[in-house]
Structure 1
């Protein structure tokens, strides 16, 4: 029998229950710094269960970005435009969610495994050009930095709205 690591956040909408299961987390996209957006960005999706009125559970998947400056010296959390992990939460609930990400999520087996799987996938991709190989190396460097994040890095991070740049 396996004992699951879980956390619960009490919100105005019910109890959000987060489980450390690989199927409850996904990496949706990763972006390298550009002239228009000078940060590394990775979008995570987290599935959780919402216990409403202590009567029934409802499953949700919401998203957020972890962003790092190009020199990896600062970290920011960003909300997605839809299905944001921080949406419909008051200031206290947003801070509690940020604390959950720092004290629990980045320390879970799920977080580490999803990043390591992506690193391995990127390593096995065949690239033809020098630019492709540089992007591959940059993505791996960023992913390895994500494995070094601390609770303090995320607790000190601001929460901003993600700006989608259309080129």
Structure 2
């Protein structure tokens, strides 16, 4: 038998359960630096199992935006505008979501495997022009930085007011 790591966010209405499997983590919407945005930015999606009244209530994918400074030294966790993992949560529930994200970025071997797979795929891509080479090099640097995040590198920028 294999034991899986999981984290649970207990909300007022349900339990949101994250099971640390590669299929439950997605990284997408990568944006590079430009004159209007001095950060690298991408979305991390987590597939969460929902339990309400002790019964399966479905799955949902919740997102968090990650920004990394242009020097790759600072990492900011930002609340996205849509499908946020922080949406409709009170302060304690948002703190539980922050704990989950912290676990994911610092301690989760599964997250590191997802990032390593992305690095391997990017290195095997056939890039043919200068723009593609620059984009691939930038993505590689950002992804490699994700493999070495420390506690002091992360700053959470989450709206902590109670929306509900």
Counterpart of 1:67 in 2: which secondary structure?
Answer: strand
Report the alpha carbon displacement of residue 136 of structure 1 after superposing the two structures with TM.
Answer: 1.1
Task: Identify the residue that residue 31 of structure 2 maps to in structure 1.
Answer: 31
Report the alpha carbon displacement of residue 120 of structure 1 after superposing the two structures with TM.
Answer: 1.2
Alpha-carbon RMSD across the aligned residues, in angstroms, is 1.7
Counterpart of 1:117 in 2: which secondary structure?
Answer: helix
Task: Identify the residue that residue 61 of structure 1 maps to in structure 2.
Answer: 61
Task: Identify the residue that residue 46 of structure 1 maps to in structure 2.
Answer: 46
Report the alpha carbon displacement of residue 79 of structure 1 after superposing the two structures with TM.
Answer: 2.4
Does structure 2 conserve the Cα–Cα contact (< 8 Å) formed by 1:99 and 1:151? Answer: no
Encode CA deviations 1:120-150: one digit per residue, 9 max, x unaligned: 1111112222232122111101101111112
CA distance in 1, matches of 2:5, 2:151: 17
Encode CA deviations 1:51-107: one digit per residue, 9 max, x unaligned: 1122334211111111111112322112222211111112222122112111x2122
Taking the TM superposition and a 5 Å limit, the aligned residue runs for 1:117-136 are 117-136=117-136
Does structure 1 conserve the Cα–Cα contact (< 8 Å) formed by 2:78 and 2:156? Answer: no
Aligned residue pairs, count: 158
Counterpart of 1:76 in 2: which secondary structure?
Answer: strand
TM-score (norm 1): 0.85
TM-score (norm 2): 0.87
Q: Compared with structure 1, are the counterparts of its residues 152 and 50 closer, same or farther at alpha carbon in structure 2 (3 Å cutoff)?
A: farther
CA distance in 1, matches of 2:150, 2:65: 16
Does structure 2 conserve the Cα–Cα contact (< 8 Å) formed by 1:43 and 1:65? Answer: yes
Task: Identify the residue that residue 138 of structure 1 maps to in structure 2.
Answer: 138
Does structure 2 conserve the Cα–Cα contact (< 8 Å) formed by 1:76 and 1:159? Answer: no
